[in-house]
């Protein structure tokens, strides 16, 4: 083993290598995001189109079929489902496993844009979406205030919402519930008929009178003045006094003559209640590459500032749901289990290796391998989620295998009378192929799962790759750190039983010997009293073997 020889003769190289790996692992760990689950997107793209007032048959003939024909030429389509409802068309594209969903979404967008001119004029632009965990809200806030419903909604929509959206990592802020202001024009059909007008005429006049646009500019030698026509309504009375048409006698027909104009509220379509009280729910969606925990901390600071700033209005923002709390608690629980596993492994190694020095040599391999694993996770774009942290917890028991095998063989060579340097080199060289085969068996089990396709593979990929990286790093540490430390600090230990530690070790050895003797006697009894092929009990192993050979010979 050339690498073991270099580690023993050139320990500075090993120190520099694992110092770089450790520092790089610590820096990589600080840059990793906290997530609940790995990022994965099912291979599904949906196209939703709203056609107000259309019947299902009309939606199917004028919208759904045209969109189906457009997207059917896409690549990697596994299944195409479409449904036509009243005023809504839905086309769901299921792609083959392993297809790039983002590229398919862009391809579908180009196909749909090419047929926009063929769709009815009243159709809203089609909406294309893919399912992703990043679309789920990170936080949900509950907002309440001592204000009328319309003013409260305007406060949340125009002031509070934009402030929260400026938090680093926030992609979108959605408001659910509340009473939004709406100017309602209720036309009297009898009066409209009496004046000989139609609803379309009234609509066109109202829209044409509520405009605000630039009309040109006036240039002088000193300045250039922009002229803008401000024609939007400022009060409800201005809308009521709007002239719709003129009578044959030259009189004016105003909007108040044919309709009732009120400053009202929109019809409620969604309700938000927190603790059985009416409120406005604020859903905060993070950016795809943002850290959920950092976004949650930033929003909480803004919420505290907003509660103080709008205290006069009675505004009260409280956190109704914070998914990052569960994510952080889960990650902390896994990290705690990881540390506990390392401590338990050190405790067990102490009893079996009979030496604190030998146990510490084995324990150095665990943090050296685990911390360096974060470098690979960062380079591959992974995050600290349940799957990757579960892989780290699982791999703790695997990491010490290589180091234990190498250290035990070094200890055996030292018992043969060799000095610790020669024992470290000969033992590592002797058992190098075996240790490599043990490690590669684990790697070849997990790597194919990471290379497979499908939803299960997307979820388990980070788990498998994390285990493979940590296992390979444990192989490196067992061929470098363990021989180097053993050649410098290795020592044969002879337990005398004088101290407390020695008495504990000897007591453990006596218990282990009793257990070994019990298993040995149980195995001997099982071999002595067993049945032959015909169900006859044989009291002697030799007699059973003799009978078997006779039967084989006769046959």
Number of helices and strands (H, E) in the chain? 19, 18
> Domain of 126: which CATH number?
3.30.70.1430
Q: pLDDT digits over 91-111, tens only?
A: 999 888 777 888 888 898 999
pLDDT, position 552 = 40
- Residues 370 and 468 reside in one and the same domain: yes
- Residues 87 and 17 reside in one and the same domain: no
Strands 259-265 and 252-254: unpaired
What is the Cα–Cα distance from 391 to 411, expressed in whole angstroms?
A: 31
Residue 75 lies in a domain: yes
Q: Which residues contact 138 (CB under 8 A, 6 or more apart)?
A: 284, 285, 286, 292, 295, 296, 322, 323, 324
Residue 544 lies in a domain: no
Q: Euclidean distance between the first and final Cα of the chain, in Å?
A: 52
Average pLDDT over residues 5-23: 88
Q: How confident is the model at residue 541 (pLDDT cuts 50, 70, 90)?
A: very low
Give the range among 43-47, 193-197, 295-299 with minimum mean pLDDT. Answer: 193-197
Q: What is the mean pLDDT of the chain?
A: 82
> Domain of 20: which CATH number?
1.20.1640.10
Q: How confident is the model at residue 399 (pLDDT cuts 50, 70, 90)?
A: confident
For residue 378, give its domain range: 2-31+354-489
> Domain of 198: which CATH number?
3.30.2090.10
Residue 150 lies in a domain: no
Task: Tell me the CA distances in angstroms from 191 to 241, 260, 375, one per residue in order.
Answer: 16, 11, 77
pLDDT, position 532 = 57
- Residues 25 and 57 reside in one and the same domain: no
Q: How confident is the model at residue 536 (pLDDT cuts 50, 70, 90)?
A: low
Residue 509 lies in a domain: no
What is the Cα–Cα distance from 432 to 409, expressed in whole angstroms?
A: 11
In this structure, the number of other CB atoms found within 10 A of the CB of residue 323 comes to 17
Give one DSSP letter per residue of 303-358, joined into a string: HHHHHHHTGGGT-EEEEEEEHHHHHHHHHHHHHHHHHHHHHHHHHHHHHHH--HHH
Residue 307 lies in a domain: no
Q: How many domains does the chain have?
A: 3
Nearest to 202 by CA among 215, 222, 187, 214: 187
Residue 410 lies in a domain: yes
Is the backbone of residue 154 left (phi > 0), alpha (psi -120 to 50) or beta?
Answer: alpha
In this structure, the number of other CB atoms found within 10 A of the CB of residue 449 comes to 16
- Residues 360 and 385 reside in one and the same domain: yes
Tell me which DSSP letter residue 34 carries: B
Q: How confident is the model at residue 551 (pLDDT cuts 50, 70, 90)?
A: very low
Does the pLDDT of residue 548 top 60, yes or no?
Answer: no
pLDDT, position 549 = 40
Is 93 or 271 the better-scoring residue by pLDDT? Answer: 93
Check if the beta carbon of residue 123 is closer than 8 Å to that of residue 63: yes
Q: pLDDT digits over 319-364, tens only?
A: 888 888 887 787 777 778 777 877 777 777 777 777 777 778 877 8
What is the Cα–Cα distance from 214 to 207, expressed in whole angstroms?
A: 17
pLDDT, position 546 = 43
What is the Cα–Cα distance from 57 to 84, expressed in whole angstroms?
A: 7
Does the pLDDT of residue 27 top 90, yes or no?
Answer: yes
pLDDT, position 434 = 86
Share of the chain above pLDDT 70, in %: 94
Residue 146 lies in a domain: no
Does the pLDDT of residue 291 top 70, yes or no?
Answer: yes
The DSSP bridge partners found for residue 544 are none
Check if the beta carbon of residue 9 is closer than 8 Å to that of residue 425: no
Please calculate the CA angle 413-417-421 and round it to the nearest 5 degrees.
60
- Residues 382 and 464 reside in one and the same domain: yes
pLDDT, position 74 = 87
Residue 344 lies in a domain: no
The residue among 242, 265, 288 that closes a domain is: 265
Is 119 or 397 the better-scoring residue by pLDDT? Answer: 119
């Amino acid at each position: 083993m050339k690498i073991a020889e270099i580690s023993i003769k050139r320990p500075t190289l090993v120190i520099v290598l694992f110092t770089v790996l450790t520092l790089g692992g610590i820096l990589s760990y600080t840059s990793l995001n906290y997530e609940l689950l790995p990022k994965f997107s099912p291979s599904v793209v949906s196209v939703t189109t709203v056609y107000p007032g259309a019947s299902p048959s009309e939606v199917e003939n004028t919208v759904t079929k045209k969109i189906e024909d457009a997207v059917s030429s896409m690549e990697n389509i596994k299944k195409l489902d479409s449904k036509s409802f009243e005023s809504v068309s839905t086309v769901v594209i299921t792609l083959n496993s392993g297809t790039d969903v983002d590229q398919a979404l862009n391809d579908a967008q180009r196909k749909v844009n090419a047929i926009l001119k063929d769709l009815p004029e009243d159709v809203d632009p089609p909406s294309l979406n893919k399912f992703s965990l990043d679309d789920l809200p990170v936080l949900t806030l509950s907002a309440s205030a001592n204000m009328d419903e319309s003013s409260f909604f305007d406060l949340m929509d125009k002031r509070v919402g934009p402030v929260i959206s400026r938090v680093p990592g926030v992609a979108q802020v959605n408001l659910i519930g509340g009473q939004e202001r709406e100017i309602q024009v209720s036309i009297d059909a009898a009066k409209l008929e009496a004046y000989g007008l139609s609803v379309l005429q009234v609509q066109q006049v109202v829209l044409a009178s509520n405009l605000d646009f630039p009309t040109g500019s006036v240039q002088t030698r000193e300045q250039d003045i922009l002229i803008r026509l401000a024609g939007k309504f400022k009060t409800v009375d201005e809308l009521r006094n709007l002239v719709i048409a003129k009578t044959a006698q030259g009189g004016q027909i105003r909007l108040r003559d044919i309709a009732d104009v009120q400053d009202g509220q929109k019809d409620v379509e969604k309700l938000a209640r927190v603790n059985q009280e009416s409120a406005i729910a604020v859903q905060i969606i993070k950016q795809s590459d943002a850290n959920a925990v950092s976004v949650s901390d930033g929003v909480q600071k803004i919420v505290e500032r907003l509660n103080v700033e709008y205290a006069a209005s009675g505004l009260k923002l409280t956190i109704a749901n914070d998914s990052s709390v569960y994510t952080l608690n889960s990650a902390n629980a896994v990290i705690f289990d990881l540390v506990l596993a390392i401590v338990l492994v050190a405790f067990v190694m102490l009893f079996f290796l009979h030496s604190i020095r030998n146990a510490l040599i084995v324990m150095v391999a665990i943090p050296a391998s685990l911390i360096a694993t974060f470098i690979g996770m960062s380079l591959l774009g992974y995050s600290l989620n349940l799957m990757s942290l579960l892989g780290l917890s699982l791999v703790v028991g695997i990491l010490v295998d290589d180091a234990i095998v190498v250290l035990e063989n070094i200890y055996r060579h030292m018992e043969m009378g060799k000095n610790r340097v020669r024992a470290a080199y000969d033992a590592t060289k002797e058992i190098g192929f075996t240790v490599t085969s043990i490690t590669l068996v684990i790697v070849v089990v997990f790597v194919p799962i990471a290379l497979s396709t499908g939803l299960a593979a997307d979820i388990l990929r980070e788990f498998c790759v994390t285990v493979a990286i940590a296992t390979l790093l444990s192989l490196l540490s067992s061929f470098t750190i363990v021989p180097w430390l053993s050649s410098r600090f290795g020592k044969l230990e002879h337990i005398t039983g004088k101290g407390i530690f020695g008495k504990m070790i000897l007591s453990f050895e006596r218990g282990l010997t009793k257990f070994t003797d019990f298993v040995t006697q149980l195995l001997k009894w099982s071999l002595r009293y067993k049945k032959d092929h015909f169900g006859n009990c044989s009291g002697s192993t030799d007699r059973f073997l003799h009978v078997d050979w006779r039967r084989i010979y006769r046959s």
